[in-house]
Each structure stands twice: as C-alpha cells, then as structure tokens.
Structure 1
Amino acid sequence: MKTEVYNEIMKVIHSYTGSNVDPRRNCTTLLQERFPDIPHYTLSSIYSLDYQRRMKRNHQRHARAAKDLYRRYNEIIQTTNKPGALLQISDQIDLSPSLLARMILDQHYERQAEDGDPAATKSAITKLMKDTTLIKDSRLAYEIYLCILHDDQYGPITDTIKHSLGQEYELRLLRKIQELNLPFRDEELMRKHGYDKTPDVKLEVPIAVDGFIVNWIESKALFGDEEGHKTYMKEQYLSYWNRFGPGLVIYWFGYLDYLEQFSDKKLIIREDFPSDITFMDPKSIKPTLIT
C-alpha cells in the first residue's frame, strides 16, 4: 500500500467519533465507504492496530484513576436502572469497554477483600471476564457482559476471533507448502526439538523467491505497518535470521510498500504466497572435497 493512501486512511480513523453505545456508528463501515477499492479485512486490520495502541496508552493513564472510575460507576447505577453505565463511561474517557470492565471488576473485588472476602487473583478476574455468570453482583455482571459484547477490539470474544483468524491463515500457508511438496518443519515440531523462538514454517530445503533465498516463512494475519514491523523485527524476525538465515514474511492483509527497507536483506515481504519460486534440487549440489 502506498504511504499516501495509508495516511488518508489514518486521517479518517483519527477524525472518527464513534460510540460503544450505538454499534451502528462503526469506523470500519465508514472506511469502506471512503475507500471502496481496498479490501474490508485490510481496512479493519489498520483500524484495529491503531485502536489497540491508542487503548494501551489510554489504559496506562486511566489505571491510575481506577478508584475514581469505580466511584463514578456506582454513582450512575444508584441514579438509574438503565443498563450501559460502563459503556457510557468508556465513551466519555475513550477507553475500550473490555479494558474498563476489567478495571472496574478489579476494583469491585478489592472492595470485597477489604470487607473480609478472599482477594481475586488475576486469573480469577480473567475467568470472570470469560464467564460473567460467575459474578455474584447481578448488575455488575450484566454491565461487564455488555462491555464484552460491544467491544470488537478487546476482550475474550475478540481474542478468540483473532486466534482463530491467525490459525486459518497458518493453515492456508501449510496447505500451499504441501501442494508444492516442499519438505518442512512446523512451529510445533520445532518447539519439540528445543527451539524457543520459531517461525511458522522452517523449510528443510530452501527456495528462491524472485532470486532471494528463503529458509523460513512467517504468517501474519494482519496489515504490516511500520511500528508493527519494527517490533516484529526486534522480537521475532532477527532471531529467525540468526538461527536459520533469510526468510519470508507474509502480511496477508497487505503492508506499507516501503517496509522492506527496514529488512536489511534479512527477509522479504509479500501479501500472499509467492508464485515466482525457484526450487532447489539437492541432488544437483556436488559435495566439496576438503583437503
């Protein structure tokens, strides 16, 4: 994707004023209207990445005011029986409903612990977020449930969808490799052999893509932007290159066209499985006699 197009998309995202209470006011719907030639999944991924980063910054700021937010929540539910108190607050402070819900749940059980009840651990809070029927306070349980239901970027439902999407595209990659009869080891097999950081696929016999040698392939079911790519380079790709040599990264939902300049010939980037492949014939390699 050209930088100019990406910048126009970001302008629309940053000028968007939506609402968690009204799901019809959806940013990805607006993006589809403005950029009809760009696939929906690409626009959704660009929006999702920007939203998550913004929410992480906001969460750090609002976490320091968790007690005040819990007090505000209680003031609202004492004055009205209308559900959606937490959604209302999340709109006002520009924080993901699920992130706010977890914060309020933490505060609620802290108060319970002060009254003599057992303190809730992080894993216990996570379990309550996944199954709100376990929350004894019925009003709070419903408020938390509404937050999870209306949050399409964070929370248990979103985590499940993203995990499923990642697996779907990994399977698509594996099917393509199997169709080409390429010998390989997948991530699970490599971990069994003691590798801690592993690509999705390690080719047993390298291939060449447009003249570039590829020893491993990583599948990313998202859009490749500069911040994300630099983070992956630092945390994943450089480790793969150190162990296995150069490789291929597939950003299935597209990527910024200038990203390869950050790769320093350690990897190449594509948005689909490449078609221009040169296969190596191991039988053609003559052994070298060392004297």
Structure 2
Amino acid sequence: FQKQVKRTHAKHHTAEAVETYYQRYLNGVMKNAAAPVLLELANEVDFAPSLMARIVLERFLQEQEQAAPSKSLINSMLRDPSQIPDGVLANQVYQCTVNDCCYGPLVDCIKHAIGHEHEVLLREMLLEKNLSFIAEDQLRAKGYDKTPDFILEVPVAVEGHIIHWIESKASFGDESSHQAYLQDQFWSYWNRFGPGLVIYWYGFIEEL
C-alpha cells in the first residue's frame, strides 16, 4: 500500500484534485456533519486517510488565513486536532488519523516506540558483550547531526568485515526502504565513521 501511495502521491496533490477533495468534503459535511466524510473519501480514491486529512486541512487553513499555512502548524494540528478552529473538521481529521494503518501521528508514535525498544535491546546486547560504544544522544550532544545509533569505540569484525558503527532498524529491509536509508543516512555514516552494520530486526530481502 505504501509503495502505491508513493506512486500516486503527486496526482492527489494537483490543484484540481485538492479543490475536488475540498468541495466534496464541504458538500459531505453539509449533508451530514457526523458522517466520516473524509475517511470515506480517502477510501474511495484509494489514498491514505491521514494524507487526505492533511490535504483538506491545508486547503481549509489557506482559505482562513489567505496564505499558505506552515508545515509545523499543520503537523501540530494533525497531532492534536482540538487545535483546529473548526469543530467539524477537527472531528473528521481525528477519524482519519486513528483509522490509518500506515501514516499519520499515531503510526509515527508507535513506530518511534518500537524503534526505541529495539535500540534499548541492542544497547543491552553490546553491554553484555563488554563492547565500548558511544550512543546517538551522546554524539548529538557533541554536535554531530546525522549519527548512527551506536559508534563502537573499538571496531569489531563481523563475518570477516570490520565495523565501526551499528544502526538499528525495527522494520523489514526491502529494496526501496534500504535505498532511501542509504541516501538519507548510511552513506553519510560510512563517509564519516567508516564501514558499519545495519540490523533489520524483521528480516530483509536477500538482494540487499
């Protein structure tokens, strides 16, 4: 589903599509404000509910403020719909975020919690093996921006490869996510700290 959303993302954000969705939302809540108008619309056009909520919320705020709203304002309202100045829209946005299995603030929160849990597990394993390391929070305190979860103070060999750092990913490693991580994180880690190890806790495809 996420791959499909990435492929079709642009078509849902054209000016025509945004206007169509907004007008359908307005017409829908005019007929029945309690109905899950936005959620049903998202399902009908096969688009993630949280992303549909974002589109309509942004369009609503644009109309209210006569200017493009900031990304931080939209994110804040998606996390806490009670901040939205229109009660009906606030309820519609809330319905979308709690019924979205792939995107949105609730999913982000769950992913963050699972990711943290696996980092703690990895930290315990390193301590058990008496491996000295510097953790990500310590590195950030030193002013590093992009850092792996753990840098080994003394490099170790894993299956014949010397590694200087370890990154924990509480996910499955497929080609598209691995390529994205390479561009966004792994190459910069390699360039700065040398070769490292990435752990995909839920497995990975053999081609990686």
Could you tell me the TM-score, scaled by structure 2's length? 0.90
1:225 aligns with 2:174: yes
Distance, in Å, in 1 between the alignment partners of 2:190 and 2:64 is 50
1:188 aligns with 2:137: yes
Aligned match of 2:58 in 106, 119, 138? Answer: 106
CA contact (8 A) 1:59 1:99 kept: no
SS in 1 for 2:43: helix
Shift of 1:92: 1.3
Shift of 1:224: 0.5
Q: Could you say which residue in structure 2 is the equivalent of 1:54?
A: 4
- RMSD between aligned residues: 1.8
The one-letter code of the counterpart of 1:99 is L
Structure 1's 99 and 194: CA in aligned 2 closer, same or farther, altered over 3 A? same
Greater relative contact order (Cα < 8 A, sep 6+):
1
1:160 aligns with 2:106: no
SS in 2 for 1:203: strand
SS in 2 for 1:214: strand
1:243 aligns with 2:192: yes
Count of residues in Structure 1 that have an aligned counterpart in Structure 2? 206
Structure 1's 136 and 190: CA in aligned 2 closer, same or farther, altered over 3 A? closer
Shift of 1:82: 4.6
Distance, in Å, in 2 between the alignment partners of 1:131 and 1:196 is 28
5+ long unaligned stretches in structure 1: 1-50, 260-291
SS in 1 for 2:204: coil
Structure 1's 194 and 109: CA in aligned 2 closer, same or farther, altered over 3 A? closer
Distance, in Å, in 2 between the alignment partners of 1:58 and 1:218 is 31
SS in 1 for 2:197: strand
5+ long unaligned stretches in structure 2: none
Distance, in Å, in 1 between the alignment partners of 2:117 and 2:146 is 21
Shift of 1:238: 2.2
Q: Could you say which residue in structure 1 is the equivalent of 2:98?
A: 149
Shift of 1:127: 1.8
Identity %: 45
Aligned match of 1:127 in 56, 65, 76? Answer: 76
The one-letter code of the counterpart of 1:154 is Y
1:89 aligns with 2:41: yes
Deviation digits for residues 46-71 of structure 1, max 9, x if unmatched?
xxxxx333223333211112111100
The one-letter code of the counterpart of 2:4 is R
CA contact (8 A) 1:216 1:247 kept: yes
Structure 1's 241 and 138: CA in aligned 2 closer, same or farther, altered over 3 A? closer
Deviation digits for residues 220-269 of structure 1, max 9, x if unmatched?
1110011222222233222222232222110001001121xxxxxxxxxx
Deviation digits for residues 151-208 of structure 1, max 9, x if unmatched?
1211111111111111111111111001111111111222233333221111111111
Shift of 1:87: 1.1
Distance, in Å, in 1 between the alignment partners of 2:52 and 2:169 is 28
Structure 1's 234 and 124: CA in aligned 2 closer, same or farther, altered over 3 A? closer
Shift of 1:119: 6.6
The one-letter code of the counterpart of 1:195 is Y
Whose Rg is larger?
1
Distance, in Å, in 2 between the alignment partners of 1:131 and 1:113 is 19
CA contact (8 A) 2:33 2:88 kept: no
1:75 aligns with 2:27: yes
Distance, in Å, in 2 between the alignment partners of 1:134 and 1:53 is 31
Distance, in Å, in 2 between the alignment partners of 1:248 and 1:105 is 41
Pick which of 153-162 and 227-236 moved more.
Answer: 227-236
The one-letter code of the counterpart of 2:204 is Y
